[in-house]
Amino acid sequence: MTALLCKLRKPLDTLYLLAGVISAIFLVAILVIITMQIAARALSINFPGSSDYAGYMMAAASFMAFAYTLNRGGHVRVSLLLGLFGERRYLVDTVCHLIATIFSCLLAWHASTMVYWSWMLGDVSQGQDATPLWIVQMPVAVGSIILAICFIDNFVSMLLRRQDNIVADIVE
C-alpha cells in the first residue's frame, strides 16, 4: 500500500499544483474584469454582467485553491492546541483528518449534485447575463472534489506513515 502511495505522490501533487495555478488564473481574470469595468465606466460604456462574472471567478478561485493551500500549510492549524496533547497528538491529528475527510467528501458530493441539478433544470443566473448556473458552479464542484482527494490522501498518509503531506511554507 505504501508503494502505491509513493507512485501516486507525484500525480497528486501535480493535481494540487494545477488546481492552484487555475486558481491564480481566475484571480488574474478578476483583475482583468475589474479593470475593464473601470475603463468601461470611464468611457460611459455599459459592461453588463461584469460584477456577476467577477463573483463567479472569486468563487472559482477560492475553491480551486483549497487543496493546494491545504498542502502548503496555508489553512489555520492550531499547533498550540495540538502540542498540548503530547503523545496523543497523532491520534488527535488523525481524528481531525478523518472528520475533515468526511466533511470534504460531503461537500464534494453536494457540490457535484448541485451542478447536475442546475444542468438538468436549466437554471440560469438572475443577472443580465443569464449565464447557465452549471457552468459557473462547475469550478466549485471540481475544487471540492480535489479538496476531498487531498484530505483522503492526507488521512491515508496519517494512517500509513503517521505523518500528513502538509509542507508548511509559513511558520506555525
**pLDDT (tens digit per residue) in 9-18:** 889 999 999 9
Residue 45 lies in a domain: yes
Q: How much is the mean pLDDT over the chain? A: 88
Q: Does residue 170 lie within any of the structural domains?
A: no
Mean pLDDT of 50-78: 87
Any domain includes 105: yes
SS (H, E, C) the chain: CHHHHHHHHHHHHHHHHHHHHHHHHHHHHHHHHHHHHHHHHHCCCCCCCHHHHHHHHHHHHHHHHHHHHHHCCCCCCCHHHHHCCHHHHHHHHHHHHHHHHHHHHHHHHHHHHHHHHHHHHCCECCCCCCCEHHHHHHHHHHHHHHHHHHHHHHHHHHHHHCCCCCCCCCCC
Count of domains for the chain = 1
Containing domain of residue 73, as a range?
A: 2-161
Inside any domain, residue 172:
no
Give the model confidence (pLDDT) of 93-150 as tens digits. 899 899 999 999 999 999 999 999 999 999 998 877 888 999 999 999 999 999 999 9
Kindly state whether residue 59 falls inside one of the protein's structural domains.
Answer: yes
pTM for the whole structure = 0.88
Per-residue model confidence as pLDDT tens digits over 22-38:
999 999 999 999 999 99
Q: Would 166 be classed as within a structural domain?
A: no
Is residue 1 pLDDT above 60, yes or no?
Answer: no
Question: Is residue 171 in a domain?
Answer: no
